[in-house]
């Protein structure tokens, strides 16, 4: 790694949620200088090409700092297994000053779930190996669609419960147990690689804490999505506080009601999210999962990046 690249990474690393030891917010650029590179990233499927390094210049043009890279799209298309593809990412990342902060096993696990299909464990391992090769610190393990961990009733609807002051859903115990058992076997690989296993799903913070405690490793964490949690009726700010910085590996930012974050039309209270993240000392990547309005990707993404850096007090 060149001296220029090291300087870039250390400089960017200081930016997120600069918080003093007393918890007070500050804009001190170097408050978190030793925590690792952080900034505003975007999912590659929102950039216009899952598992495609050719979108990297577009990310730079949109003022992004990084990209969440998909490991693949289906069992017959897992480009990140290939050494040449990984090398292309690394070379283009250096050229365009784009960091690969995480690797997603998303769509592929939503179709071939970790809860029911043994082969899906291979895709999680693929993501770990790709993350290590690209210098990413965590992976996203998705549990949506076929992979949802909630129990359905006889009518095919998820069974709603009440948990504190917000709604939650009954879990499918058999599915959860299979996920826990699979991830316990995968944990040693993740620990050796220094890559966190980030669970992204439809569950409450409390339910996620129970699952990762059962996995039994600090490397098992939550990949938190403020848009999904708001849409499910959860108290996002309280969830963030309950999870804490040590249990959240990375964050998706989106709002189902608008493509422009902070818009009056929005459903997610980004200011309250920012306050909660500052309170817990969150010092990791914020990842846009929104593509902007049709035909206005660059314009809208630049607005969203600027909004995030201002609202979440990034340097």
Residue range 117-152, pLDDT digits in tens: 999 999 999 999 999 999 999 999 999 999 999 998
Least confident of 154-163, 254-263, 278-287: 154-163
The percent of residues above 90 in pLDDT, for the chain, comes to: 81
In our burial notation (b when 16+ CB lie closer than 10 A, e otherwise), range 81-119 reads eeeebbeebeebbeeebbbbbbbbbbbbbebbbbbebee
pTM greater than 0.75 (yes/no): yes
Alpha-carbon gap, residue 240 to 242, rounded angstroms: 5
CA distances in angstroms from 275 to 103, 199, 237, 248, listed in the order given? 27, 23, 8, 15
The pLDDT tens digits for 59-118 are: 999 999 999 999 999 999 999 999 999 999 999 999 999 999 999 999 999 999 999 999
Domain spans, the chain: 39-311
The pLDDT tens digits for 179-224 are: 999 999 999 999 999 999 999 999 999 999 999 999 999 999 999 9
Alpha-carbon gap, residue 162 to 266, rounded angstroms: 26
Which tokens belong to 293? 């309005």
Per-residue pLDDT at 6: 42
- C-alpha triplet 184, 225, 105: angle, nearest 5°: 45
Q: For 39-311, CATH number?
A: 3.20.20.150
Which residue, 244, 260, 251, is CA-closest to 292? 260
Per-residue pLDDT at 166: 58
């Amino acid at each position: 790694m060149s001296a220029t690249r090291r300087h870039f990474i250390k400089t960017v690393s200081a930016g997120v949620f600069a918080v003093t030891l007393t918890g007070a917010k500050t804009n001190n650029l170097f408050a978190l200088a030793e925590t690792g590179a952080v900034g505003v990233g975007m999912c590659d499927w929102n950039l216009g090409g899952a598992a495609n390094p050719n979108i990297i210049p577009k990310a730079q043009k949109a003022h992004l700092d990084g990209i969440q890279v998909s490991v693949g799209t289906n069992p017959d298309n897992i480009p990140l297994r290939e050494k040449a593809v990984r090398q292309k990412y690394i070379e283009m990342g250096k050229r365009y000053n784009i960091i690969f902060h995480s690797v997603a096993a998303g769509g592929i696990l939503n179709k071939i779930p970790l809860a029911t299909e043994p082969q899906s464990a291979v895709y999680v391992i693929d993501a770990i190996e790709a993350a290590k090769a690209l210098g990413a610190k965590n992976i996203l393990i998705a549990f949506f669609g076929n992979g949802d961990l909630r129990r359905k009733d006889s009518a095919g609807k998820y069974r709603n419960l009440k948990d504190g002051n917000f709604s939650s859903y009954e879990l499918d115990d058999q599915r959860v147990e299979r996920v826990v058992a699979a991830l316990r076997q995968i944990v040693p690989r993740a620990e050796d690689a220094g890559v966190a296993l980030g669970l992204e799903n439809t569950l409450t913070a409390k339910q996620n804490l129970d699952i990762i405690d059962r996995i039994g490793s600090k490397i098992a964490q939550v990949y938190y999505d403020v848009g999904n949690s708001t849409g499910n009726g959860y108290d996002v700010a309280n969830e963030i506080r309950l999870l804490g910085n040590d249990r959240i590996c990375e964050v998706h930012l989106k709002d189902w009601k608008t493509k422009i974050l902070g818009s009056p039309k929005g459903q997610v209270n980004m200011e309250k999210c920012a306050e909660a993240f500052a309170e817990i000392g969150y010092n990791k990547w914020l990842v846009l999962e929104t593509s902007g309005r049709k035909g206005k990707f660059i314009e809208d993404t630049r607005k969203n990046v600027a909004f995030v850096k201002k609202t979440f007090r990034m340097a």
